[in-house]
Structure 1
């Protein structure tokens, strides 16, 4: 049976997708809620391990996976790894600050480094940017690194996966990028309709 954990230690999970200029700042002050089948917390090593259909939410942030491991170093930086169920992809989503846009990412592994302030989507990686509910940009590859503070991403078609695992895919990346439209630019007018010519046929027979 799933259990919901709302504990003081869960602040470390917020670092999975929080921070940076592109992140929704209000999320930092929202409570973190995690649903999972089990939790193992080690205070000495400052690690939390959630397992079993894990769903974490904090404001606009949504994280899903089979397992979430979170570690905090002595300097206070957090490092998180989200692992997908076999044959599926782990997921994260967050609203961008000040605009009606969302970043979504998927991969067999998702790694967050709060010191470097980036998110890595590893193996069968996908990154999508939505304007409202409209898909604006989309890219796929074996490794996608998204820099939260600069809103810059890189896509690699054939890197080595985490812990030396071989990369999947055909070594090529794919991207769909929508051009930005200037709202002040004039909308081109449609050409006038062609003039109708009188027909010499009626019902397929010549008059």
Structure 2
């Protein structure tokens, strides 16, 4: 089944991640479209629950999960929570706004739960969380941890690892995904301009020798 949310349930802010690139600006004005097997909507509470292979698209933004809950507060800000099936992870992807001439950039993230906060314009990836940035089709940066929070307004993200449990010895190996891991590629240096051509010196005229005699025509 396909659902097109009315303006009452449209996300009012965009989402995403990367150096100087910000979320795709055009996504702010795009409608939200949702495909799911079932929908339960509560008009009084302004909540909608989509279940069954849910796919949410809003411009370049894509959010997938087994269930997605959407709600709206009294000020009109909207929130979404995507939950994955047992043993799997929900998925998020969005194109970045890049300067003219720069390669396309995309942000991807996964987690057992993905929370979108429309008021603060943040995305939160919970449990087995990963966040990746691509330049075109090339993986550029990647971070993983227990919880990742990405702020779309400031383009900053924080990563928390799994806290050490009291019953695990200090020297024991941490649980899978317990520590924060990151792979960050260096920035590409700006393209160098070719050196300016040195103008050629004009050819000098031959020197004139003084005449020692005067000749009649």
User: Which SS does the other structure have where 1:96 is aligned?
Assistant: strand
* Residue 26 of structure 1: how far off its partner (Å): 0.8
* Residue 6 of structure 1: how far off its partner (Å): 1.6
Residue equivalent to 2:143: 139
The structure whose Rg is larger is 2
Is the contact between residue 128 and residue 177 of structure 2 (CA under 8 Å) also seen in structure 1?
no
* Residue 59 of structure 1: how far off its partner (Å): 1.5
Which of 183, 203, 213 in structure 2 is aligned with 1:176? Answer: 183
Is the contact between residue 107 and residue 122 of structure 1 (CA under 8 Å) also seen in structure 2?
yes
Describe how 1:5-44 pairs up with structure 2 within 5 A: 5-8=3-6, 11-12=9-10, 14=11, 18=15, 22-44=22-44
Which of 111, 116, 122 in structure 2 is aligned with 1:112? Answer: 116
Could you report, residue by residue, the CA deviation over 1:91-150 in whole angstroms, capped at 9, with x for unpaired residues? 010111135111111000001111222110000000000111110000110000001001
The question of 1:82 aligning with 2:77 is answered no
Is the contact between residue 26 and residue 59 of structure 2 (CA under 8 Å) also seen in structure 1?
yes
Output the aligned Cα RMSD.
Answer: 2.3
* Residue 15 of structure 1: how far off its partner (Å): 5.2
Residue equivalent to 2:132: 128
Q: May I ask how many residue pairs the two structures share in their alignment?
A: 176
Looking at structure 2, the residues matched to 170 and 98 of structure 1 have their Cα atoms a distance apart, in angstroms, of: 32
Residue equivalent to 2:209: none
* Residue 170 of structure 1: how far off its partner (Å): 4.9
User: Which SS does the other structure have where 1:27 is aligned?
Assistant: helix
Q: TM-score by structure 1 length?
A: 0.78
Looking at structure 2, the residues matched to 181 and 61 of structure 1 have their Cα atoms a distance apart, in angstroms, of: 26
Is the contact between residue 16 and residue 107 of structure 2 (CA under 8 Å) also seen in structure 1?
no
Looking at structure 1, the residues matched to 130 and 60 of structure 2 have their Cα atoms a distance apart, in angstroms, of: 19
Residue equivalent to 2:207: none
The gaps in structure 1 that reach 5 residues or longer are: 160-167, 187-207
The gaps in structure 2 that reach 5 residues or longer are: 164-174, 194-217
User: Which SS does the other structure have where 1:45 is aligned?
Assistant: coil
Structure having the higher helix fraction is 1
Describe how 1:154-169 pairs up with structure 2 within 5 A: 154-158=158-162, 169=176
Q: TM-score by structure 2 length?
A: 0.74
* Residue 17 of structure 1: how far off its partner (Å): 5.2
